[in-house]
Amino acid sequence: MTCRHLRWSWRVASTQRELDDVARIRWAVFGGELGLLSEQSALTRREVTCVDTLDTTVHVLVYAGDEPVATMRVALPNAEVAANLGGKVGLEMEQRVDLSGLLQPGRVFAEPSRFCVLPKWRRSEAVTWLQAGMFAESRRRGVTHWIASANLETDSPVDAHLSWQVAARRGWVSPHWRVAVSDPQQAPVQSRSPYYTPEERAQAARGLLDALRLPRAPALFARTMGARFIAEPLYDTYFQWFTLPLVMALDEVPAESVTRFRTLEQGLSLAA
């Protein structure tokens, strides 16, 4: 069966089987494909953290026919997390970033993460279905803004900073939102996963940024979800890669994307 004729759907994972599907997809991407997880996680081939079991955490799962092919996690504010971190929002990101300056009456933040699509399905509608599920479920729960950190696919501070420069050149750095890094982490001295080639770095040194690549995750969220970047790169000690903090306002998601999400939802309702 071709992708065009598949029956696509998304749901919030709730059964043990669905939660296992979520954890297995995440391991397949972060562990099996990218080699970012410890050998111990290979025993069960599941990627799970303490945030996954909170009652404020939502796991969106996308199916192509009967096959689970993509997933992401949306964590909503949690009072226990806020108390343990000494924070004000109750999101995991407060461990590394001071979010207090973003708080205003009427704003409800959620933290999307673990955006995973199995390699076979990355050129299919799986990505759009995942975003549609993220958008619809966040709306349903009263979320107004997402705060996240997009993977830069490198542990090189030079390449991470260059990605930040490329994002700024494209107009994707927010002129209004800024966050302070509360406890910056240092990357390894020897990079094991550079993103840019020596030729691209030389091009950047000459100020020629327009044609340079930007890693998939930040580019995807900037184009399709209206994401704007709000801090220079952070080093993620769990995955040992740099990430780029961002904010997305649900009311500012591009109209074209919202229309596409609603079309998918309407088709799903008619098929039910």
Quote the tokens at residue 96.
């590394």
Q: How far apart are CA 85 and CA 91, in angstroms?
A: 9
Specify the range with the lowest mean pLDDT, choosing from 7-16, 48-57, 162-171, 231-240: 231-240
What pLDDT does residue 6 have?
83
The model's pTM is: 0.91
Contact 116, 59 (CB under 8 A): no
Q: How far apart are CA 192 and CA 153, in angstroms?
A: 11
State how far the alpha carbon of 36 is from the alpha carbons of 42, 122, 138, 190, 194, in Å: 11, 19, 28, 16, 14
Q: 259, 272, 262, 236: which is closest to 149 by C-alpha? A: 236
Task: Write out pLDDT tens, residues 81-136.
Answer: 999 999 899 999 998 888 888 889 999 999 999 999 999 999 999 999 999 999 99
**Confidence label for 74 from pLDDT (cuts 50, 70 and 90):** very high
Domain chopping of the chain, boundaries: 3-271
Contact 243, 152 (CB under 8 A): yes
SS (H, E, C) 224-237: HHCCEECCCCEEEC
Give the dihedral of Cα atoms 45, 72, 124, 250; nearest 10 deg. Answer: -170
* DSSP for 191-242, written as a single string: -S---S-HHHHHHHHTT--TT----HHHHHHHHHH--EE-SS-EEETTTTEE
Q: What percent of the chain has pLDDT over 70?
A: 95
Confirm or reject CATH 3.90.1640.30 for domain 3-271, answering yes or no.
no
Quote the tokens at residue 86.
């000494």
Contact 177, 248 (CB under 8 A): no
What pLDDT does residue 186 have?
73
Q: How far apart are CA 236 and CA 49, in angstroms?
A: 14
Determine how many CB atoms are found less than 10 A away from the CB of residue 172: 21
**Confidence label for 188 from pLDDT (cuts 50, 70 and 90):** confident
